[in-house]
Structure 1
Amino acid sequence: MLIPMFMISLISLVMAAFVPQDAELTSFSYPFPVKFHEIHVKNQKYKMAYMDVKPEGELKGTIVLLHGKNFSGHYWERTARDLLKQKYRVIIPDQIGFGKSSKPESFPYTLHFLAKLTHELVTKQNVDKYILVGHSMGGMLATRQALMFPGAIQKLALINPIGLEDWKIKVPYKDVNELYQIELKNDETKIRDYQKNVYYDGQWKPEYEKGIEVLVGWTLHKDFPRIAWNSALTTDMVFTQPVVYEFKNLKMPTLLLVGTRDRTAIGKGWAPDSVKNELGRYDLLGKAVVKEIPKGTLRELPGIGHMPQVETYDQYWKSLSDFIVK
């Protein structure tokens, strides 16, 4: 008897097995070799993981890819492979507190410091000019990095970046202890439901499971409290350190690539009902912000959410690659 496709999908979800992952993902494979950049902060040593892959033959340039808050560098694999085909060197860091990088109990989490660490990592690879691409939180961080090091960054591409609005003027503040308690409650169901409802408009496909593999694996390991604490610290960072007022100061050509269905907003989960519907309106935010960017270009993907590189890769890639090579 033939099994209908929808039943196969359901069976795939039920059979999905998540493996416990330690704080630095020591048993989790990345698509390219991982190296580590050593960082010293107040007599403490930390390691920043990164992938650095080069195509064969003559290079067109270097592109740095910055991950989002619920992600690690490995999810850039398809983009990186396509960039390699275009003869670009690709550097993909895991920020401190994410992926295979260190998860400190105490660390100066600021966008400025993470941007400085990322720029130093890149320049230590003998790269003085590069294209910077950031998704979600990575877009917010990339904006800060571009503001700090305008002479080094040739182009800036922001893919559904957070930070297009200042949430703290509408949402009550929660301190890191409160945020930590929220993070500790995460489990497989909550993680999947969040991405399903926020990223994918209530739809879920078996291929989306790959996007929650690390997050769920962390909740199953004894290191999870450390992961939750770092996540609370970085939530506080992005909530309290807006970049929206400084887009006008960007000097390089900038692409704002936006899935218009996206409604992602930090603090939306605890915002008053009266303002929830005002937050994360990417269908409005993209149009407003691009007017502030001197050399800005807006590319909207109608009906697409927070993950255009997953939902509609071909459209996403065309917009990104057209901007990079023009």
Structure 2
Amino acid sequence: MKRIFKWIAFAVVTLIASLGLTFWLRPLAVFRVLNKAQMYLIGARGNFTNVAGYRIHYYTLGPSDGPVVVLVHGLGGRSEDWGKLAPYLAKAGYRVYLPDLPGFGQSETPADFSYSVGDDARIVVGFFDALGLKQVDLGGWSMGGWIVQLVAAQHPDRVRQLMLFDSAGLYVKPDWDTKLFTPVSAAELEKFDALLMPHPPQLPEFVVRDILRTSHEHSWIIRRAMDSMLTGRDTTDGLLPALKMPVLIVWGDVDRITPLREGQKMHQLIPQSQINVIPGCGHLAPNECASQIGPGVVSFLKK
């Protein structure tokens, strides 16, 4: 019996040591597993579909017969980024779809894809078609906001209501170094985090190391997307005044990536829009300030 207990103790210690080593070597992989577990706990279920020949991952949550809401993440993001806001919509009776754009999250990373907002918009419309979504309430965050503006402008019959969260899309040259989206040093990562969050956390060295490693692996996707956006080819200044559907604009008032003045300009360009400014929140407002944003989003959708 003592020998059995020794073997059990040895197995437990070995397992704990292995988990500890895995976390130290690849903390982001552990965080991704935890994020998936969190999505499962809020009722989200993952699936895949084929869009334009690419394998696209998405989550669904909320009642299957509820009005459809589709939320599109931003540059460098993933569907799990909506994990704090989406439950507000699901609890209000909406069927929520959270797709991963090509190259991000669990979707395919095709080498032959442009990663431009124009092609991403076509992927989103293809996602509607693949799942038989005739008309949706559509929201997007940052680059995702830019993408959904294009979808709404080009396919107004498919979008009941539009939601823009700290959105890009206007013809504006960033006043920050866009190379920070692919940091190559701890100092650059610190500067990037300061752009994203008013109060960025102090990250352990081993986490910083893994973030930089992952950034290097995916930098070609980010650069391809960023280079396309910086051409100004798909900007929406001229499209927004023609939108007819109700539009909600949500913005963190200390956003440094897409400053509040850009949200205010969008509000001016879209006569029927309403703008909700969230005090003390930055570019990650839909995640970090979901409790302040969620009730207002539900109220907008139910009007």
TM-score normalised per structure 1: 0.72
Of the three residues 176, 200, 205, the one matched with 1:204 is 200
Is contact 1:257–1:319 with CA below 8 Å preserved after alignment? no
> What letter matches 1:106 in structure 2?
D
2:13 is aligned to none
Question: Are 2:238 and 1:245 equivalent residues in the alignment?
Answer: yes
Percent of residue pairs identical: 22
Cα distance, 1:17–1:253 mapped onto 2, change above 3 Å: farther
Residue in structure 2 matching 1:19, options 11, 23, 26: 26
Q: Which runs of 4+ in 1 moved over 6 A?
A: 25-28
Say whether residues 1:33 and 2:45 are aligned partners: yes
- Counterpart of 2:302? 325
> Is 1:230 the equivalent of 2:227?
no
Q: Which has the larger radius of gyration?
A: 2
How do 1:1-326 and structure 2 match up within 5 A? 17=24, 19=26, 29=36, 31=39, 32-40=44-52, 45-55=53-63, 58-59=65-66, 61-167=67-173, 185-186=183-184, 190-195=188-193, 197-201=194-198, 203-205=199-201, 217=210, 219-220=212-213, 225-240=216-231, 241-264=234-257, 280-282=258-260, 284-326=261-303
Question: How many Å separate the matches in 2 of 1:225 and 1:205?
Answer: 21
Structure 1 residue runs of 5 or longer lacking an equivalent are 1-15, 265-279
| Letter paired with 1:48 | I
Partner AA of 2:237 in structure 1: V
* CA apart distance, 1:309: 2.5
Shift of 1:299: 1.5
- 1:111-145 CA-partner distances (Å, limit 9, x unpaired): 22211211221232222111001111111111111
| Structure in which a larger fraction of residues adopt helix | 2
Q: CA RMSD in A?
A: 3.1
The alignment of Structure 1 onto Structure 2 pairs a total of residues equal to 269
Secondary structure at the counterpart of residue 29 of structure 1? helix
Question: Which one-letter code corresponds to 1:83 in the other structure?
Answer: L
Query: TM-score, normalization: structure 2?
Result: 0.77
Deviations 1:233-290 (A, max 9, x none): 11112222322232112121001111121121xxxxxxxxxxxxxxx431x2222221
